[in-house]
Chains A and B, each alone.
Chain A
Amino acid sequence: MLVYGVLLVCLIPFVFPTWWMATTSLKPVNEIFAFPPSLWPRSATLDAYRQVFELQPFGRQYVNSLYIALLVTVGTLVVSSLAGYAFARIRFRGSGLVFMVVLAGLLVPSEVTIIPLYRMFDGLGLVDTHWPLILIPILGAPSVLATFIMRQFFITLPKELEEAGRVDGLGRLGLFWQVALPLARPAIGAVSIFTFLHSWNLYLEPIVFLSSKDKFTIPQALTQYVDAYGGALWNVQLAAATLSALPVLIVFVLAQRQFVEGLAQTGLKG
């Protein structure tokens, strides 16, 4: 019984903020700072949600975030599964050296290189487009962890499987596509989840690269709901925040086994 008590108390800072976010977004302005604080809106209104879409092209920004995150996820899966497979299963000259070079990406957070990256994309005329937000995660430092997880997974596959494939006349691409990849679902799941979340949460890169409102992504848009003096329109910010958090939360609750166990049981274990 004591354990349950401790667990319940521990839960408060994990669960209450999300609850507070959703309920406050339904409160009228005069209630959001009311004392005593109300756990449930006394008079609920959808006014804040109307303003979310009136003040900014939020629908457009939502689509931006979503399509960028999906593209980054698919792109990262392609790049990291190919490279991870090669490092794990193909013996080729220089693979050790290439692996070291790729792993160097783990030591260089993309924040460190943000200035030259900005200059490079500026030179290509791609500032204030979504290209940097798509290309940097797929090809740059963020994909290295994905490659590492894929490699750790492919290493565990038994040799006999590929030998059987060889006998059936499969080449490398066939072995990768028809034998190894279908077995890699846990690793693919884990990589998809954290790649999607990484892109969905990105904040520094969007505020550096994007300047027009209809190109913004959600994290950047959330902070733009302010009054003429720069003060936060709390209920509008929280309504938009709820809209950004709820779908992902629902997907997570429905698929929490794959989420949690996928993350725990792939290469991240070391």
Chain B
Amino acid sequence: MTLLVRERVEVAGPPPDRPPFWTMRRRDELAGWLFVAPQLAGIIAFVLVPLGLVVWYSLHEWSVLADTFDYVGLGNYSALADDPRLGPALRATGLFSLGLVVLNLSLALFLAVLLNQKLRGTVVFRTLFFSPVVVTLVAWTIVWGFLLQDNGGINGFLELLGIDGPNWLRGDATAMISVIVVQLFKNVGLNMVLFLAALQGVPAELYEAARIDGASAWARFRRITVPLISPTILLTSILTVVGSLQVFAQIAVLTQGGPGTSTTVLIYYLYQQAFQFHHFGYGATISLLLFVIVLALTALQWRMRRKLSFYED
């Protein structure tokens, strides 16, 4: 019915020798641009322009308190290269990211494999492992900070077992381990769920065939599971690495970058310089360094895609 009405309207439209200006193609052209306009404008205003400003700021000595904004060329860059705190900050960032990514991906994959067996109660376990993801980040951090106090819950339970626990957040190594572990259990459920979804896409016949050929459980995991879910491994590792460079709240709440500077990762150092010491120009230089690291790591992992992913959609 609708079809008929349509056609009659079109026949009654403009004569065939002058095609209408608003063809479907032109309409789509306009609609496409209008649909992406808010996003495009937002990215320009809140990402690209600020990124340009970061570069501009990094070329200036800018003291908010003294209200000065002087061009210093690459002065901030050479200052950053000579900054005795840069080395420790990069080291802390590297330790944190590496520790987190390795532990996160192995634990997520381990839990996903455990839960991928057809067991009763899988949904309950999955829900519980995922639950920290939805707990308010700072709430999660606070309760761990409380547990990790010298006289807190963890040392209390250790003492019941006759172990004298360390003052976790006050030792260089234990403080770093603590912030890694707090972040690990907060978000590992997310990667676990992504791995579970990937595992469910691995055809069961492959395992059957391998079992008949006498492959061990480890060999099946190594030769079937890992290659087949490698696109997911790549994706989760990119998300986890980039995410680890943005971890701020946990450090700010648990250690404030201490003891000493042992947990002062780059983003925390950036926050200190810009918003505690009000060195915006120098802070911008650190921002750029952080940006370059994110870029380099993403590019590196993207290049590894060919080596890692045997089967890509």
Besides the known contacts A104-B48, A252-B127, 6 further A-B residue pairs in the complex with CB atoms under 8 A apart: A24-B146, A98-B36, A116-B53, A141-B47, A207-B252, A208-B275
- Our pick among A118, A139, A248, A264 for the contact of B41 (Cβ within 8 Å) is A139
Known: A143-B39, A201-B249, A269-B198. A169 touches B6 (CB 8 A): yes
B33-64: which residues lie under 8 A (CB-CB) from chain A?
Answer: 33, 35-36, 38-51, 53-54, 57
5 pairs of A and B residues whose beta carbons are closest in the complex: A139-B42, A92-B32, A140-B46, A241-B139, A86-B35
- Our pick among A87, A107, A136, A220 for the contact of B36 (Cβ within 8 Å) is A87
A92-109: which residues lie under 8 A (CB-CB) from chain B?
Answer: 92-95, 98, 101-102, 104-105, 107-109
A220-270: which residues lie under 8 A (CB-CB) from chain B?
Answer: 220, 222-223, 232, 234, 237-238, 240-242, 244-245, 248-249, 252-253, 256, 259-260, 263-265, 268-270
Indicate if the CB atoms of B35 and A168 lie closer than 8 Å: no
Q: What is the bound-complex CA distance between A115 and B136, given in angstroms?
A: 25
- Our pick among A36, A93, A98, A169 for the contact of B40 (Cβ within 8 Å) is A98
Of the stretches A2-10, A44-52, A181-189, the one at the interface is A2-10
Whether A117 sits at the interface, judged by CB under 8 Å, is: yes
Interface, chain B (partner A; CB < 8 A)? 2-3, 6, 27-29, 31-33, 35-36, 38-51, 53-54, 57, 111, 114-115, 117, 119, 121, 123, 125-140, 142-147, 149, 151-153, 156-157, 159-160, 181, 185, 189-190, 193-194, 196-198, 231-232, 234-235, 242, 245-246, 248-249, 252-253, 267, 270-271, 274-275, 280, 283-284, 287-288, 290-291, 294-295, 298, 313
Chain A 13-32 near chain B by CB (<8 Å), digits 1 or 0: 11101101100100000000
Indicate if the CB atoms of A18 and B135 lie closer than 8 Å: yes
A169-220: which residues lie under 8 A (CB-CB) from chain B?
Answer: 169, 171-173, 176, 197, 200-201, 203-204, 207-208, 218-220
| Most B C-beta atoms less than 10 A away, residue of A78, A91, A264 | A264
Whether A161 sits at the interface, judged by CB under 8 Å, is: no
Indicate if the CB atoms of A91 and B42 lie closer than 8 Å: no
- Our pick among B39, B111, B287, B294 for the contact of A83 (Cβ within 8 Å) is B39
Q: What is the bound-complex CA distance between A249 and B275, given in angstroms?
A: 33
19 A-B residue pairs with Cβ-Cβ distance under 8 Å, sorted by A, are A4-B119, A7-B125, A11-B129, A14-B129, A79-B38, A82-B36, A93-B29, A107-B298, A108-B291, A108-B294, A109-B242, A120-B50, A168-B2, A201-B138, A218-B138, A219-B136, A222-B136, A222-B138, A241-B143
A257 to chain B, nearest CB (A): 8
Indicate if the CB atoms of B249 and A112 lie closer than 8 Å: no
Indicate if the CB atoms of B50 and A117 lie closer than 8 Å: yes
A265 to chain B, nearest CB (A): 6
Indicate if the CB atoms of B46 and A135 lie closer than 8 Å: yes
Indicate if the CB atoms of B160 and A36 lie closer than 8 Å: yes
The residue in chain B whose Cβ has the minimal distance to the Cβ of A257 is B123
Indicate if the CB atoms of B42 and A119 lie closer than 8 Å: no
